[in-house]
Structure 1
Amino acid sequence: MSKPILELRHVVTKVNRNTPEELTLLKDLNLTINEGDFITVLGSNGAGKSTLFNSIAGNLPIDSGDILLRGESIAHESEERRTRFLSRVFQDPKLGTAPRMTVAENLLLATKRGERRRLTPRHLNAHMAEFKKLTSGMGNGLDERLTTPTGNLSGGQRQALSFLMATLRKPDILLLDEHTAALDPKTSQQLMTTTNERITAENLTCLMITHHLDDALKYGNRLIVIGNGQITFDVSGAEKQALTQETLYSFFSDLQD
């Protein structure tokens, strides 16, 4: 039986604290994530999806409750400290990569994720064959652009690179924050297929925010819906397989497919 790898217990997260604009975004939210879970996350705009990710990643401190990694609290750890076990891919392809560095240089940087930075020789050439093999699996020509500055890539290639960087060193937790939303339909589906293959092959623990109901139903072993700062629906296994788009629409009215 899978063991909990991450737990959110009675988490409350606010913004604009102690001002007239103070707003509570997560409201006594509870969530247990088991090792190997691939969870698709749905919810209308403002429901708390990104706040959930920001709270897990540490770039938005929680106001009360606790977050535990394998039973140990990480609620007060910094965002930088959490990179030792967590990776995230954002919606914007421009985030997550260094535009003036080449594809290979970005990948080399990703091999050091979570480590203390030191001045050491790069040994970039020693990694080129490995990076060639890694990028060739993306099927989008990225393997032919290892020496190209990342800023010169297409949006799809840059997002594929962000995904590879996030998974190069197997993270305990992978957060995919609508990582295909900014891409055209063909490129989006190509990256989604590769994403699923890599998560499955590596048995990664992943949460993926999506606005595409088809993707939410097709991928992952578990699906949650966030509404008004709380988990309003949580289903897995055979129950998830039996879901339909019509069932999901009944939970919220303004989610766009």
Structure 2
Amino acid sequence: MTNPVFSLKEATVTVPNGTTIMDHLNLDIYPEDFITVLGTNGAGKSTLFNVISGDLPLSSGRVEHNGEDITAVPAVKRTAFLARVFQDPKLGTAPRMTVAENLLLAEKRGFRRTLKNRQLTAKKLEKYYDLTKTMGNNLEDRLQTATGSLSGGQRQALSFLMATQVKPGLLLLDEHTAALDPKTSDQLMAATNHQVKDNHLTSLMITHNLKDALTYGNRLIVLNAGKIILDVRDEEKEALTETDLLRYFTR
């Protein structure tokens, strides 16, 4: 197996009241892993993502990116290789900017960001039309629309495209379909799976949907009390059922 893209080694987070919310967690994430992440409320899913993104410092242990220790690297610098899509469709986009302007801004992830109208050339708009059309929700017809006027599903689709437009070293999908209706959620999940596979992305996806956790990705982990209590991939993951997973929610 190739070397991991991202690793947590004995990662521990203890909050001021003495509670340990991540307990000596070890995780290696390999190139093109698509890992679905399950766990009850308070199991440590958000803590895991916040540690990876740099928004939550470790009490002990280390974080590595391509073998380099980045434990002390702040969140803003990690955006050069990491992207995150949140549950709330309002996060991750600029509401007063158009769809096209948001996409233009996203192209500059990891670089100094400036926006000039002259940069929105006909060629750029054609590129964004083709890109947004892949989402299957008519977003391509809203390129000149202020993002704040989009539906929740369209805005979340835009957030996803912005996160993946410049291929990230690691993509974090933080319950990115949870706030959507079932039809829109299914539509975005299908588009997500397509983009992750076709662009060979490495991704972690938090979900409470057991069906989605089993359907998508090559690997599945279950968290409990800040620890990984199940980590399966490929054939072992494919053999799991929803009944199997429910056992981990009744402990």
**Paired residue for 1:115?**
111
The alpha carbon displacement at 1:24 in A equals 1.7
Counterpart CA distance in 2 for 1:187 and 1:118 is: 32
Describe the SS at the equivalent of 1:249. helix
- Whether 1:76 and 2:50 are equivalent positions in the alignment is no
Runs of 4 or more off by more than 2 Å in structure 1?
116-122
**In the TM superposition, what are the counterparts of 1:28-177 in structure 2 within 5 Å?**
28-117=24-113, 123-125=119-121, 126-177=123-174
- 1:5/1:69 contact within 8 Å kept: yes
CA distance, structure 2, for counterparts of residue 103 and residue 211 of structure 1:
29
Q: How has the CA–CA distance of structure 1 residues 119 and 97 changed in structure 2, closer, same or farther, with 3 Å as cutoff?
A: closer
Of 187, 196, 199, the match for 2:193: 196
Work out the CA distance in 2 between the residues paired with 1:236 and 1:195: 19
Q: Which amino acid aligns with 2:8?
A: L
Of the candidates 187, 206, 225, which is equivalent to residue 203 of structure 2? Answer: 206
- What runs of 5+ residues in structure 1 fail to find an aligned partner? none
Deviations 1:25-83 (A, max 9, x none): 10101001111100000000000000000000011111110000110011111111000
AA of the residue aligned to 1:2: T
Deviation (angstroms), 1:251: 1.1
Equivalent residues, number: 250
Moved more, 25-34 or 111-120: 111-120
Moved more, 216-225 or 244-253: 244-253
Instruction: Return the offset for 1:23.
Output: 2.6
User: Structure 1 counterpart of 2:158, which letter?
Assistant: L
TM-score, reference length from structure 2: 0.96
Structure 1 residues 120 and 100: alpha-carbon distance in aligned structure 2, compared to 1, 3 A threshold? closer
Aligned position for 2:230: 233
**Mean Cα deviation higher: 109-118 or 233-242:** 109-118
Q: Partners in 1 of 2:48 and 2:195 — Cα distance?
A: 24
Q: Distance in 2 between matches of 1:4 and 1:185?
A: 34
SS in 2 for 1:4: coil
Unpaired stretches in structure 2, ≥5 consecutive residues: none
RMSD: 1.3
In structure 1, C-alpha distance between the alignment counterparts of 2:9 and 2:197, rounded to whole Å: 27
TM-score by length of 1: 0.94
Instruction: Read off the aligned partner of 2:188 and give its amino acid letter.
Output: L
Report the counterpart of residue 4 of structure 1 in structure 2: 4
2:139 and 2:114 map into 1 onto residues whose CA distance is 29
Offset of residue 120 of structure 1: 6.5
Distance apart, 1:122 and its partner CA? 5.0
Helix, strand or coil at the partner of 1:13:
strand
Q: Give a deviation string over 1:112-171, Cα, whole Å, max 9, x none.
A: 011123576751124111000000111101000001000000000000000000000000
Q: Deviations 1:161-203 (Å, cap 9, x if unpaired)? A: 0000000000010000000000000000000000000000011
